[in-house]
Amino acid sequence: MNSIANYIKQIESELSNFELPNSPENLYDPLRYFFELGGKRLRPALTLMTAENFSGQGKDALNAAMAVELFHNFSLIHDDIMDEAPFRRGKETVHTKWNNHIAILSGDVLFVKAYESLAKCDIKYLPELLNLFNKTATEVCEGQQMDMDFESRESVSEEEYIEMIRLKTSVLLGCAIQFGGIVSDLDAKMQQALYDFGQYIGIAFQIKDDLLDLYGESAKVGKQIGGDVLSNKKTLLNIKARELGCDMIQLSSIIEPNERVRSAQQIFKDFGAKEAAEKKMEAYYNDAIRSLEALPEIQKDLFKSFATYLIERAS
Amino acid sequence: MNSIANYIKQIESELSNFELPNSPENLYDPLRYFFELGGKRLRPALTLMTAENFSGQGKDALNAAMAVELFHNFSLIHDDIMDEAPFRRGKETVHTKWNNHIAILSGDVLFVKAYESLAKCDIKYLPELLNLFNKTATEVCEGQQMDMDFESRESVSEEEYIEMIRLKTSVLLGCAIQFGGIVSDLDAKMQQALYDFGQYIGIAFQIKDDLLDLYGESAKVGKQIGGDVLSNKKTLLNIKARELGCDMIQLSSIIEPNERVRSAQQIFKDFGAKEAAEKKMEAYYNDAIRSLEALPEIQKDLFKSFATYLIERAS
């Protein structure tokens, strides 16, 4: 069995050899640039890991994995416009380096490349892959819309937040893992188990991201700590803190950024919001592990160690 | 045989019954709104017409036709953002009525709906349909990028302009007609003939659009006449006028809009630019007709009358 790092390397190599036309430059240069920014490549690595461990076809697994990664990159390019994010991984976002129009269109063509990659899969898998991909892509858009809608709302319930991150983040992890199951000819029950695992671990993964945003180490996370607090983002930590009676108005009245972040770190801990978010993350981790029941013991262990890796990470 | 008007009606009925979720409202309301704005629906009508006349399956033809129309609508929503167009068909564009972010995302989800429609086609047609669709979608993005690049350029050659409209407009007509051929199990030679016909007639169609923009009747065309001249757009008329020695600097120095449009109408005619554009349109019309050689006589006549309808239209 390969390690996750090896699958990630394989995807990196595919991306750096990914053939794109030279012209029009303003359409394709942004994509070459974006691929070079790097990324965790976790989703496609999950497809490869799943397929290899259930003896799925190498070529189909790779094409399906690349479809997931290309789609993810497309959604990041468009999300960065909508979030008006100037930087990604410490470098300029596409719409900052070029402009919004170019970021829209190069995103669009990247979306087509995702479908092109999927279309290379064996015809016997194509309808199933395509249906799951379409469903997932729709849900990711719905999640992003919910996220945007939340910005202008006074408050968001925990249930709404979880549904938003399920759609925006987790379904694509579910899709990535199930893709590995599809190209391995697994039965519907096992495919569902893989999807559920991916979805639950995806939610835990996102809560971990929220926690790292406030309690991580800047050098490891690769961005400034406390961004969510400074932009008043309604993450699970924020929702829990509000629920537990933190004075959010007083917190947001602190002008000095470092001081506001330090205050949030302290009072979210004191009021138990940090612990509540960690508990929630563990609950989803446990749901993920429980979803693996239908799988053979050896695969169970594999996915379990992957899940542990995801929620124990520091970056 | 049905008339084109009947195929258009069928597509209108599909669009008005098109099922979209209610929530998130900001994702799906813009699509309902956009469908109600109407449109020529020529592309999907072409798929239906081609399929019916070669006895293609009704359901596959309809799903393929809808994929083309949904894709076309997606590309219009995104193009309107990039072109900063406030109106379409006399009503506010999506990004004007809502905002750019919502227009990006509702466009994205509409793109998925196009693929969903295609995925409903019989599996025996799916790879062929998907490959042509992906190729076409890529080219449409390339054409839109070329169009944007032309805006900041001093001049554009006729050859470059034709290549831009081929990609931005014509390939989707070729795709729409070939879709009808694919679901009718036509051989590669006949499919190619249909595609070429669509592509050539698409170029003629766009040149007709350029001519109507300056020489059409406002009430029939459904927009203000002379928009291209006022925005100094490099259409074939503009390129030909420059080639034929029109003083374009003097023309663009006329401040009063109506006067500038009237002047352009007159001098483009006097210098022979109008005639040159009409000749070019006829040449592509003739290329389109010649492409039909491989088809049986009865189909030849059908496509010929459609081609004539397209370039003799007043709106």
Domains of chain B: 1-139+170-184 (1.10.600.10), 187-315 (1.10.600.10)
Q: Which two tokens stand for residue B76?
A: 């219009």
Examine the pLDDT at A165 and tell me if it is beyond 60: yes
Q: In chain A, which residue's Cα lies nearest the Cα of B150?
A: A24
- Are B24 and A137 within 8 A, CB to CB? no
Query: What percent of chain A shows pLDDT beyond 90?
Result: 90
Instruction: Lowest mean pLDDT of A213-227, A276-290, B27-41, name the range.
Output: A213-227
> Considering only CA atoms, which of B67, B165, B133, B138 is closest in space to residue A106?
B138
Residue to substitute from B23, B100, B112, interface A, most A β-carbons within 10 A: B112
What pLDDT does B2 receive? 67
- pLDDT tens for residues A54-81? 987 789 999 999 999 999 999 999 999 9
A268 vs A30, A252, B23, CA distance in Å?
40, 13, 32
For the segment B88-139, what is each residue's pLDDT rounded down to a tens digit? 988 999 999 999 999 999 999 999 999 999 999 999 999 999 999 999 999 9
Contact: B27, A142; criterion CB under 8 Å: yes
Cβ–Cβ gap A137/B112 under 8 Å: yes
pLDDT confidence of residue A222? 74
User: What are the chain B neighbours of A149 within 8 Å (beta carbons)?
Assistant: 24, 26
Hey, what amino acid is at B21? P
Distance CA A35, CA A16 (A): 7
Q: Cα separation of A223 and A230, whole Å?
A: 13
| Chain B residues touching residue A125 (CB < 8 angstroms) | none
- What is the separation of C-alpha B115 from the centre of its chain, rounded to a whole number of angstroms? 19
Cβ–Cβ gap B109/A82 under 8 Å: no
Token representation of residue A96: 């900052």
Q: What is the mean pLDDT of residues B193-201?
A: 98
ipTM, two decimals: 0.95
pLDDT tens per residue, range A97-133:
999 999 999 999 999 999 999 999 999 999 999 999 9
Note whether A27 contacts B142, CB cutoff 8 Å.
yes
- Chain B's closest residue to A23, CA to CA, is B142
Maximal C-alpha separation, chain A? 59
The overall average pLDDT reported for chain A is: 95
What pLDDT is stored for residue A161 in this prediction?
98
Find the mean pLDDT for residues B296-304.
93
What kind and span of H or E run contains A36? helix A25-36
A277, A242 contact by CB (below 8 A): no
What value does the mean pLDDT take over residues B268-273?
96
pLDDT given at position B239: 96
A18-27, A48-57, A264-273, B192-201: least confident range? A48-57
Chain B residues closer than 8 Å to A123 by CB? 123, 126-127
Give the residue with greater pLDDT, A154 vs A13.
A13
Give B-chain residues touching A112 at CB under 8 angstroms.
Answer: 134, 137-138, 141
Residue A234: is its pLDDT beyond 80? yes
pLDDT single digits (tens) B57-72: 789 999 999 999 999 9
- What proportion of chain B, given as a percentage, has pLDDT over 90? 90
Mean pLDDT value across residues B183-206: 97
DSSP of A68-97: HHHHHHHHHHHHHHHTT--EETTEE-HHHH
d(CA B201, CA A272): 68
pLDDT average, residue stretch A42-54: 95
- Which of A140-149, B123-132, B219-228 is the least confident region? B219-228
Closest by Cβ to B130, choosing from A27, A119, A137? A119
What is the tens place of the pLDDT at every residue in B132-167? 999 999 999 999 999 999 999 989 999 999 999 999
Confidence of residue A1 (pLDDT cuts 50, 70, 90): low
Phi/psi region, residue A193 (left: phi>0; alpha: psi -120 to 50; beta: rest), is alpha
User: What's the Cα-to-Cα distance from B131 to each of B56, B61, B71, B208, rounded to whole Å?
Assistant: 19, 16, 15, 30
User: What pLDDT is stored for residue B315 in this prediction?
Assistant: 75
- Residue B314 in this model has a pLDDT that exceeds 90: no
Q: State the pLDDT at residue B232.
A: 86
Q: DSSP assignment of A300-313, as one string?
A: HHHHHHHHHHHHH-
Which of the two residues, A261 and A220, has the higher pLDDT score? A261
> Which of B81, B113, B142 is opposite residue A24, by nearest beta carbon?
B142
- Report residue B261's pLDDT band, with 50, 70 and 90 as the boundaries: very high
What is the pTM assigned to this prediction? 0.96
Mean of the pLDDT values across residues A18-38? 97
Rounded to whole angstroms, the Cα distance separating B11 from A25 reads: 36
User: Chain A: nearest CA to B271, how far in angstroms?
Assistant: 33
Check CB contact under 8 Å for A138 and B109: yes
Beta strands at B87-88 and A91-92: parallel, antiparallel or unpaired: unpaired
- As a whole number of angstroms, the distance between CA A217 and CA A220 comes to 5
Q: In angstroms, rounded to a whole number, what is the distance separating the alpha carbons of residues A226 and A228?
A: 5
Residues A176 and A46: beta-carbon distance below 8 Å: yes
Size of interface A-B (CB pairs under 8 A): 107
Pick from B101, B119, B149: CB nearest A131: B119
pLDDT at B224: 82
At A276 the pLDDT is 97
Among A214-223, A296-305, B189-198, the minimum mean pLDDT is found in A214-223
Partner-chain contact A148 B123, CB within 8 Å:
no
What's the average model confidence in pLDDT over B253-258?
A: 94
Q: What is the pLDDT of residue B1?
A: 52
Please tell me the distance from the alpha carbon of residue A53 to that of residue A60, in angstroms, as a whole number: 14
Tell me what the pLDDT averaged over chain B comes to.
95
pLDDT of residue A154: 87
Find the range with the poorest average confidence among A166-180, A273-287, B209-223: B209-223
Cα–Cα distance for residue pair B131/B118, rounded to 1 Å: 11
Residue B95: partners with Cβ closer than 8 Å, 6 or more residues away: B77, B80, B81, B102, B103
